[in-house]
Amino acid sequence: MPTFTVETERNVPAQMRDGVTLRADVHRPRDDGHFPVLLCRTPYGKTRRKMHDEIAAEMAARGYIVVFQDLRGRYDSDGEPLLHMGSHPLNPCINDGHDTVEWCATLPGSTGKVGTFGNSYCGMTQWEMAPTRPPHLVCMFAQGVVANHLDRHMSGVVRLGRRMTWTINTISPDMARRLQVPGAPKTPEEADALWEERDRSKWLWYLPLSEIPESAMPGMHEYWHRLLRETVKDHFAHEARHKEVDVPALSGTGWYDQQVGTIKQFSGMQANGKTEFARENQRLIVGPWGHTTLSLGRHVGELDFGSAAEWDYFEMADAWFAKWLKGERTAADDWAPAQIFVMGRNQWRHDDQWPPKGMRETPWYFHSGGHADTISGDGTLSPEPPSDEPADQYDYDPRDPVMTIYTKSGQQVPMDQRPLDGRRDILRYTSPPLSEALEVVGPVSVVLHAASSAPDTDFIAKLIDVHPDGFVQELCYGLIRARHRNGTDRTDLITPGEVYEYTITLNPTGNCFLPGHRIRVDIQSSDFPNFDRNHNTGGDDYFEPALATAHQTVFHDSVRPSHVLLPVVPS
């Protein structure tokens, strides 16, 4: 493979159709030849992240022109920033994506073929642009991206930890710089330091969230209020627009990433892409990884998933782009449509679709003698339906929520959940140690029969693998807000004391429960600050400060058999 010397041109202007100028760094091979273009559009500052320079240097050396562009209104680009407008018809960023792809095709030394790449928000900008079908767009590589707004905010509940720190620490500093706000942090590093050393994360606990002072998030107050008012709305609606997309897309994610949305992009395009060519050339890679671009390794959180988990990002990207942009035969020619890493046995599955063929939804039922509220309690899980059994109960006090065990930056990775063992507001249903392996790959859901003393509350379900050495590995979780049990497009408060059946959709997973391991399902009513707290009052949790304790009852008997549906596949 030829390796080129790389040269970089900074702040290259590109004029959008409405006259606004966006600026990009263009990294190119120092050669007289012509090369395809790789484009990433980012709100995070094209020169601010070391990762951008790493990608640019490596991919340009492999024979691509690599373009990192600041989004409208961010860093060196002009215009007004309009973040998370998604598929809104007045969102100019949709046309910006189209216009930038076409601009890339005209760059000196370009072959006219353009591919896009990027993780998270930089993946979302690709799916915003794709339905406009720029003539020179050939393929995409989008990682860790949602398909709709509610992939992130389950049941319309704000994922507070990530969304608030993103707003205050990641996005607001550049707004404060542009607005010249005195005393405000002007870089994410300054904002992070204030968050931890001065403010001690206090804004997470502020009530009501709508009254957080504007000085805490310069330039983002209006955005924050729009988020709180519209948590149940799908701002993105990418799935509805798959029928307008006609290019191959590689969707990459991890089991501790925004996997549900990334998988929906793949399966939605397989089913509904505009052309047969597009439908047949979707590819999905799901590893054991977290929300990351480059770190596709074996060590994730506190677990080692073995050498099979290791992918080289640059080899992956080059295989995909060389296939489509250079017409070369590469490893991507042999990729199955869905390459799925199965944790536990730490091996890859190669499937034609998602969910895998042969998957069977298999119920495992909750059991107890009424004392599942301690780590040494009598809650059990088995394939046998319950008979007459007493219900389990716990109190949920939003002043003392179950705290999320995740990274300092608010990202999920496999971390031992045993620090929560002392909580009495978690019900735990655990199988005996397995005698045979049980492989589950696909969507997970819990059917819960429950009552509450409150007019509104939350129920959260977690699927867990308990290792023989005691390590408690959270695999996936799901949440339902009682008022949205019939859909986020309506609000139906519950009658205190009345029993309701809730279907809780968990994130999908891929895990083999090995012999000696135990399957566990936890039921709780808070997971803070991963999700904002339900105040249990039936009021507007984002605009009212009142809190109340809810007494929760979970039933598991012959009439009300609460259970988890596991997606069992042949090993």
pLDDT averaged per 10 residues, the chain (length 571): 90 97 98 97 93 96 98 96 73 90 98 97 95 98 91 91 96 96 96 96 98 97 93 87 97 95 97 98 98 94 98 97 98 98 98 96 98 97 97 98 92 96 98 98 98 98 98 98 96 98 98 98 98 98 98 98 97 75
**E-strand spans in 92-155?**
110-119, 137-143
Per-residue pLDDT, 83 = 83
Q: Which two tokens stand for residue 145?
A: 């991206």
Helices 92-105 and 121-129: crossing angle in degrees, nearest 10, is 80
Q: Which of 32, 20, 27 is nearest to 72 (CA)?
A: 20
Per-residue pLDDT, 378 = 98
Per-residue pLDDT, 123 = 95
350 as an active site residue: the answer is no
Cα–Cα distance, 446 to 7 (Å, whole number): 54
Cα–Cα distance, 502 to 452 (Å, whole number): 12
291 as an active site residue: the answer is yes
Between CA 230 and CA 246, with CA 147 as vertex, the angle to 5 degrees is: 130
Q: Which residues contact 519 (CB under 8 A, 6 or more apart)?
A: 364, 381, 430, 431, 434, 438, 463, 464, 465, 466, 513, 566
Q: Which residues contact 247 (CB under 8 A, 6 or more apart)?
A: 130, 133, 137, 138, 139, 140, 278
Q: Which of 110, 124, 118 is nearest to 63 (CA)?
A: 110
Q: What is the dihedral of CA 282, 283, 289, 290, to 10 degrees?
A: -10
> What one-letter code names the amino acid at 301?
G
Catalytic residue among 174, 257, 456, 527: 257
> Is residue 513 a contact partner of residue 563, using CB atoms and an 8 Å limit?
no
Catalytic residue among 120, 368, 445, 525: 120
pLDDT in tens, 304-315: 999 999 999 999
Per-residue pLDDT, 153 = 87
> Is residue 99 a contact partner of residue 16, using CB atoms and an 8 Å limit?
yes
The CATH number of the domain covering residues in 6-151+235-351: 3.40.50.1820
Q: Which of 433, 422, 419 is nearest to 375 (CA)?
A: 422
Report how far apart, in Å, the C-alpha atoms of 148 and of each of 104, 105, 181, 236 are. Answer: 28, 30, 34, 5
Cα–Cα distance, 263 to 268 (Å, whole number): 8
Per-residue pLDDT, 89 = 67
**E-strand spans in 120-186?**
137-143
The sign of the torsion formed by the CA atoms of 214, 216, 218, 219 equals negative
Catalytic residue among 242, 291, 367, 484: 291
Per-residue pLDDT, 93 = 82
Q: Which fold has domain 360-568?
A: Jelly Rolls (2.60.120)
The alpha carbon of 179 is separated from its chain's Cα centroid by a whole number of angstroms, namely 31
Per-residue pLDDT, 86 = 66
> Is residue 219 a contact partner of residue 172, using CB atoms and an 8 Å limit?
yes
pTM score over 0.85: yes
Domain with CATH 2.60.120.260 in the chain: 360-568
Element of type H or E holding 303: strand 303-304
Per-residue pLDDT, 88 = 67
484 as an active site residue: the answer is no
